[in-house]
Structure 1
Amino acid sequence: MEEILGILGIKKEVIGCKRVQSIIKTHGRKDRLVGIAMRQVAFDELRPTLDSPFLPYDPFFSDDKLLNSRRERLYDSEERLLLLCMSIASGRSVVSVKKLNPGFTTKELRSKHAKKQSLFRYFRQELNDQTREYILSHKTRSDKNNSNTNGNDSVAKIPTTPVDTNFQALKAEAALKKALETRFIPTSFDDETITAFKLFKDGHALLSAQVERFKRGEQLDMFELMKFCRRLVESHTRNNFSLMAIRHIKDASIYLEQHAMGMAVLGIHFAKAMKLSNAYVEVIALGALLFDLGRFRLPMAMVTKTTKMTDAEFDLFRKHIKFGE
């Protein structure tokens, strides 16, 4: 993190921030809370830049090309900045970000200013999503430690205030905390099935919209797709039988969408059986959801055909893998 801050030229401002210094003084330099606070302050420092217009997306740009003009050098600098911001928001190295997002482009990020959307808020929300569970668990431990002191002032108390209170109002944070704490509480099959049905309905609407973008050759909305996969993971965690049962319901008119969501559910089930971390469970779910995306470019009559395919049909069918890539 300090290396990235040095590259961005904001290391002194971030580390010298009162909030960061206060957490270092309370918990020590190596505590994870220090890193989270540094990432939050880093985005605060970068806000004027992130909320200013970026150059339009260039599909022909390559980071190994010669930068002959000022515009090309500026575009390259913006690409590097956005990649570093993704690294800060996700808490992963730049190398890991590239490996987890091999087809990533900055098209959606660059277009936010034109759409009157805040790129700063987008990255801060990503950071909040990545760190929220840790902060809440830390606060729970802190509350427990404080209650165990029984008023003994000689024991150093850990502050129970959030690491960051600037981004969201306290009232909204309290409501969010309550919702987050109930996300993974086990539920009955009947109750979770109602939620899972709605989840599949929302998934069908999301996939239908993404398929239209895919057919037009546009970039998929990866943020919305990842949010959907997280909802699938949460439902599976509460009661995995519901999603595993619903994936068997078939409707020929939306077969491909149902098949994609069923694959995502199986991906989650498999990844959890392998005891992989949450980050990998989400990525595997996303990969399974999009694995057969190329089928949407095939004639629907062929996709839903119940009789044996002709040799010509089968040759075309096999091309869906290439379409998906």
Structure 2
Amino acid sequence: MRRTGRGAARLRGVRLVTEDEITAAQRRLAGRVVHTPLLPCPRLGDDLGLPLAVKAENLQHTGSFKTRGALNALLALAERDAPPAGLVAFSAGNHAAAVAYAGHAFGLPTVVCMPTWAVSTKVATVRRYGAEVLLTDELVATARALAAERGWHLLEPFDHPDVIAGAATVGREILADGPPPDLVLVPVGGGGLISGVAAALRSTSPRTRVVGVEPAGANVVSYALRTAGGVPPQRPSSVADGLAAPFAGQHTLAHVRALVDAVVEVPEESILPAWAELLDATKLLVEPSAAVGLAALRAGLVETSPHGRTVLVLSGGNVAPATLATLG
């Protein structure tokens, strides 16, 4: 377990999103995103010995929480300036689909840089929304060069206050749909989701513990916390491909350091069994990335209470049929 030291100093030049920014994101997103259900899961809860609920972001537009951040960032940009001429993004899948969805909704030409190893169904989803897909192993550099060349807006996947504020609406909904939980477990890729959830919960429910969960094969946030912002020497690779972010951002690291109680890393071999269990217990179609919280509980990596409610944030449901077939 990597304890973050909640309340640690912010990085120079980087600020945390405010309550007003989260409220503004809620206003912008009203009627544009799904208020996803917070579902009790007594089967898993009884087995684990604690009250358990799941936040089903797999039921969001495009199948993941990413739509919240992409739409909020685009709408906030349009409020401050003129709408952009087009959109550019880089992503392995879920943010790619969210930006393609946003571009389609607002009639903006969109190009998304995706890695050559991206899941074929996620590539197909991006194209279905009308976006151009460019497969490359130089995601960030290629996306930045394209944005500069075309004069289009680069919509960051996680490392931007507007994206974090959009993700924070997940936390606001958790608080709106029941008593404050004792513990919220959040899957971690680049850190945008946990940054937003922690920002939403911290001021209203300071006793709620917020813990991030990373796969050991894609642990960019834990690595950055250990190395003062360093980037892993090897490309992140995990069966939880939705969490394989190329780096941890400065904004997200600042939020994690200041607001998150701990970040834990789950062994890769624990993810697929937890995923199978989650599919069976909830009857929800989620991707392996959504199962890392349950994997952490099963591995005993997070201290729980038999009295306070625990919430698992199910980050997305974009899973390839071939991956489902691995469950036999």
**Could you tell me the TM-score, scaled by structure 1's length?**
0.25
**Bigger RCO (CA 8 Å, 6+ sep):** 2
**Could you tell me the TM-score, scaled by structure 2's length?**
0.25
Write 1 or 2 for the structure with the bigger share of strand. 2
Highest CA radius of gyration, 1 or 2? 1
